[in-house]
Amino acid sequence: MNAMSPPAPTLATKTASGGEILLRLSGVRKAYRGAVAVESVDLEIRRGEFFTMLGPSGSGKTTTLRLIAGFEQPDAGTIELDGVDMARTAPFDRNVNTVFQDYALFPHMSVAENVAYGLKAKRVAAAECRDRVAEALRMVQLADFAGRLPAQLSGGQRQRVGLARAIVNRPGLLLLDEPLGALDLKLRQDMQLELKHIQEQVGITFLYVTHDQEEALSMSDRIAIFNRGEIEQIGTPEEVYERPTTPFVANFVGSSSIVKRRGRRFMLRPEKVQVLPVGERAAFGFHGEEGRLEDRVYLGMFTKYVVRLGDGTKIVAVQPNAEGATGQLEKQRGEPVLVVWNPETAWPV
């Protein structure tokens, strides 16, 4: 599945413009009873950016988000929002709002009351409050659901309410804690696009937490990859996918085969490897090696090949099942095949 989703070039090229810094984390550290959750995090997020913190569970990304929201306080370090350190400020005094993974809608309040909650706490006048709630509900396409209770909504609708409830306050920074984690795949993909559109529409800086690399690649301006409480790499989707700086990033973002040649380790993305019948000529400048086909998995759009080279290296290749494409290679398990790649796409790690 990883290999099926190379980064969308349109988004990847839209690198974050070097805008002013909205949020700056310096040397942030947090431990729970001796167990370090966040070791030392430095991070700068620009105004208007869609920034994603990506990592496996327990990597510290959610703790970092909770520190920014104010639900936890760091043991060390500063969290500057608009140049002011917020590390000790209570959550209700911070100009940030959160969209929760479990929605956290107030079950005894209607959709409209949920969305109005933040405005009422800030004593926004009733008329303005009404207008802004209606506008926010329109934005998430729930205008007709204002009177419902959360229990009467589907999961996707609940998460839209959670989103409306946060953006209606027009926060400087919106925190999203795996907001699509509880939704099924199709709904997730629709919501990913919608979230991205809403972010462009309202112009609020989004700080998004996910463990789904595909989600991170398709939505973000920039991504920070977390591992064991530290950031391994920060970059655009294209940068972290094409030019990972650590083996962890190479494996976590997308999948890759690791090849050792002349004492150096290279990463090979599966979509950049071709599998050909033995005896066929590789294109000029391409590197070819013979191996044995270990597995061939038909995946609909793609076919995945697993090839074992003579020195034991395992190479994974993915080829589109396009009309007349090489994806139709009719080799059986155990048969010898030729794997070919452009040495320029082999990225040293």
**Where do contacts with other proteins occur on this chain (CB under 8 A)?**
69-71, 90-92, 96-98, 100, 102, 104-108, 117-118, 121-122, 151, 165-166, 169
Q: Which residue number, 88 or 261, has a Cβ lying nearer to other proteins?
A: 88
Alpha-carbon distance 212 to 185, whole Å?
A: 11
Length of the chain: 349
∠ CA(14), CA(19), CA(46), 5° rounding?
85
Nearest to 26 by CA among 77, 82, 83: 77
Nearest to 116 by CA among 188, 72, 154, 169: 169
Shortest Cβ distance from residue 32 to other proteins (Å)? 12
Tokens of residue 242, six digits: 């094409």
- Whole-angstrom distance between the N-terminal and C-terminal Cα of the chain? 22
Q: Which residue number, 97 or 227, has a Cβ lying nearer to other proteins?
A: 97
Q: Give the containing element (helix H, strand E) for 97.
A: strand 96-99
Alpha-carbon distance 113 to 348, whole Å?
A: 54
Q: Which residue number, 166 or 240, has a Cβ lying nearer to other proteins?
A: 166
Nearest to 54 by CA among 184, 239, 321, 299: 239
Q: Cβ of 316: how many Cβ atoms within 10 Å? A: 22
Shortest Cβ distance from residue 170 to other proteins (Å)? 12
Shortest Cβ distance from residue 49 to other proteins (Å)? 21
Shortest Cβ distance from residue 119 to other proteins (Å)? 9
Shortest Cβ distance from residue 132 to other proteins (Å)? 13
What contacts 14, CB < 8 A, 6 or more positions away? Answer: 221
Q: Which residue number, 106 or 298, has a Cβ lying nearer to other proteins?
A: 106
Q: Which residue number, 105 or 249, has a Cβ lying nearer to other proteins?
A: 105
Shortest Cβ distance from residue 180 to other proteins (Å)? 16
Shortest Cβ distance from residue 73 to other proteins (Å)? 13
Q: Which residue number, 107 or 263, has a Cβ lying nearer to other proteins?
A: 107
Q: Which residue number, 35 or 90, has a Cβ lying nearer to other proteins?
A: 90
Say how far residue 252 (Cα) sits from the centre of its chain.
Answer: 11
Task: Tell me the pairing of strands 347-348 and 336-341.
Answer: unpaired
